[in-house]
Amino acid sequence: MFGSAVLTWLLADHLDKYDRKSVLVLFLLLRGLCLIACGFATTPIALIILFTLSGSFTGPASSVLMAAVIDVTPPPNRGRVMAFIGSAFSIAAILMVPLSLLVSLYFSWQINFWIFGGLGLVLAVLCVMAFPTMTSHIQSGGKAKQKAVSVLFAQSKVKIALLVVAIQILAHFLIISNFSAYFQFNLSFPREHMSALYFGGGAASFIALQFTGKLFDKGIRHQLHIVSALLVALSLYLIFIETPQVNALFVLFALMMTVSTVRMSATTSIISHLPSPPQRAAFMSINNSVSNVASGAAGFLSAALLTTTADNKIVGMDWVAMLSIFLTVAAPLILWRWVNHDSLIIPNNDQAPPIAKR
């Protein structure tokens, strides 16, 4: 997380200077090669270094990808498209996470690195073949000498939006980093059913995003953001403070995962309108850096707040859940108050630019 944050931040001023396709292919290749190398690591230190490098390249790749999606999507359709892109995380939860858990359980830990590294290389080749060349953002940037990061941080609404992202990610990963161990050791959830848990949550999230994306385009962004955050808070309370029965966890986890996905998509839909084309990759880079730092900080914070008993039960999860609930509710209220509907009035020149031929 921290490696991705550092590299993405360092490259923020440069990503908008080049063809988005070339940059995306480069970082996909680097990430895929590092993941494959992880499978050949012979010491823990080598594995950590290689895996950190692979994660570092993920930040710039996802920043450029999201900037490209915004570039080619007219403002009235962005909510639906961003929700569609967000559903990829649900598909990953439905297919990739359960499959990777099974592969590591029945084969070896190296296999997953080789599979996902190889898929990364295949994806890079597909991008070379099918992804359009995108240079319109370079032309629209003119000859301005001011750095993109400086332009963005001169806008108070950008800083507020990044603060909200940090709060939201911190609240999310305070729980996500520990819920698997908590489910198994505190709630006696069977280890062999974890794949089914992910599958149910991912499927519910995918279905929900098909409906909420259309609502985003109708201007119901902030309302969905607030409602989904309240439902996240409710699900956290029921899971970590009320300590439900094992069978109820399937429903509660699906609820938590669904509304969390909707909340993240709502946030992305709201803040995607803030940067202009010449600063979009820079904005997404900063957004990714903030997200990665917040998620890494959440891991350290939860580790500091939690302890374990002799039988591996986690102690203090109720207090961590209460902190997460507070941050979860605060984030959309801040965004509603300081990044209001007036900031989402799209200027006439914010249209999807023409795309060069492949």
Q: What is the 3-state secondary structure (H, E, C) of 32-94?
A: HHHHHHHCCCCCHHHHHHHHHHHHHHHHHHHHHHHHHHHHHCCHHHHHHHHHHHHHHHHHHHH
pLDDT of residue 143: 44
Whether 94 has a pLDDT exceeding 80, the answer reads no
Q: Which three-class secondary structure state does DSSP give residue 308?
A: strand
Average pLDDT, the chain: 81
Answer for the pair 20, 278: CB distance below 8 angstroms, yes or no: no
H or E stretch including 252? helix 246-271
- Per residue in 264-288, pLDDT (tens digit) is 888 887 887 777 777 777 888 888 8
- Per residue in 150-164, pLDDT (tens digit) is 777 788 888 888 899
pLDDT of residue 33: 95
**DSSP symbols for 172-201:** HHHHHHHHHHIIIIIS---GGGHHHHHHHH
pLDDT of residue 205: 79
Spacing of C-alpha 2 from chain mean position:
14
Q: Which three-class secondary structure state does DSSP give residue 307?
A: strand
**What's the CA gap between 305 and 322, in Å, rounded?**
12
- Per residue in 222-233, pLDDT (tens digit) is 888 899 999 999
Answer for the pair 120, 54: CB distance below 8 angstroms, yes or no: no
With cut-offs at 50, 70 and 90, classify the pLDDT of residue 320: very high
Q: The pTM is what?
A: 0.73
Whether 357 has a pLDDT exceeding 70, the answer reads no
Question: Which residues partner with 308 through β-bridges?
Answer: 314
- Mean predicted confidence (pLDDT) in 136-165: 73
Whether 198 has a pLDDT exceeding 80, the answer reads no
With cut-offs at 50, 70 and 90, classify the pLDDT of residue 140: low
**What's the CA gap between 35 and 110, in Å, rounded?**
10
Burial label for 245, CB within 10 Å (0-12, 13-18, 19+), is exposed
**What's the CA gap between 73 and 353, in Å, rounded?**
9
- Per residue in 13-61, pLDDT (tens digit) is 787 788 888 989 999 999 999 999 999 998 999 999 999 999 888 888 8
